[in-house]
Structures are given as C-alpha cells and as structure tokens.
Structure 1
C-alpha cells in the first residue's frame, strides 16, 4: 500500500478536523458526555471492522480521541484517510463534532 502525504490526506473530503501528527492522523471529538462518546466508539468499531483497518481509540468522559496509521506501510495511506472521513461522518450523524483546536500540532497557526 502506497504512503500518502499530509496534503493528500487532507485533500480527501471529510478529513477536516483531523491533524497529521508524528506520521499518523488524529482527531478529537467532543462528545459532551460519556454515553455519546461510547456510542461513537461503537460506530467506529463497526466502521473499522468493515474496513479491516483498526484505529487507536481513547474514550474519556467528554470526548473521544482517534488515531489512525497503516502500520504495515509505515505511515499514512489512502485507507487511513477513507476511515477518518467515515468516522467524521458517523460522528456528525450522532451530533458530535471534531474539536479542531484540541490536537493542533505545536507551533501551527
């Protein structure tokens, strides 16, 4: 599987709200409460199993952090961008939005 650049990743529709950090893509979704976050995690699990591509997911009281990278390729691939876009769509369907400032790389504007 071919690696893609940060620009290639962000060019995929639906990846706004995601940041490329340390050769992986990450987003924080402000779920407002634990139950909503758990519902998003369940949707992410379904999407990941369907895509046979499994991100790292961290559920906290008010939010969910998701990180994706294709370990076998050693970085980001189109599969990561497609999964990120699908996760963002699922979050939107649940009324959960990505907090675009939460995981902003240090030094970026």
Structure 2
C-alpha cells in the first residue's frame, strides 16, 4: 500500500534516484529547494504540482519566497516516508524542467 512506511533501505534506494532531495536528520522526511528564474516561474511550478498533489491526495509542506520554493515531504499518517512522498518528489523534479 502507498501509505506504508518505507524501510531505511527503501529510503536509501529511493534517494539515489531523486536528484537534489535530502533526508531529514530524523529520517522521516525528504526536502529540497527548487530555484527558478523568477517568481512567476516558481509560482507556475507550485500551481502545476498542487494540481497533481490534489489528484493523488498527498500534499507537500512548502513555502515560496521570490524564486525559491522549499519543499518537505512526509506522510503524517505513517509517521514517516512512504511511496507517496517518493512519487511526489519524482513528479516535482520532472515539473521543474518545464518552468
């Protein structure tokens, strides 16, 4: 099930394919800073990711200041990382190239 917590080895393997993402010290979240040319590009990225997040019913913790978008992903109901977090991180990496 997508909401089952990943094991440490599954997390390590997932991070190898997630450019730019780092594991929190507590091991229960991954984070990344995305940088864009300007505010409009950053906001466009967030809008596109928000539509996908709503579709999969998994929402990021994020903030935006000018051209930077800081993202943290975790699954609160699982008290750690799940495949939902990995899938959303992959999607965000893909979307970044369009903005």
> TM-score scaled by structure 1?
0.77
- The yes-or-no answer on 1:59 pairing with 2:64 is yes
Paired residues of 1:24 and 1:67 also in contact (CA < 8 A) = yes
Contact 1:41–1:57 (CA under 8 A) maintained in structure 2: no
Higher helix share: 2
Q: Which runs of 5+ in 1 are unaligned?
A: 95-109
Question: What is the TM-score of this pair, normalised by structure 2?
Answer: 0.85
Residue 19 of structure 2 aligns with which residue?
Answer: 16
User: RMSD value over aligned CA atoms?
Assistant: 1.3
Aligned residues: 92
Give, in whole Å, the separation in 2 of the partners of 1:9 and 1:75: 14
Distance 1:31 1:78 in 2: 26
Runs of 4+ in 1 over 6 A off after TM superposition: none
Q: Measure the CA separation in 1 of the matches of 2:92 and 2:22.
A: 14
For 1:1-109, what aligned pairs fall within 5 Å after superposition? 1-4=3-6, 5=8, 6-11=11-16, 13=17, 15-21=18-24, 22=26, 23-94=28-99
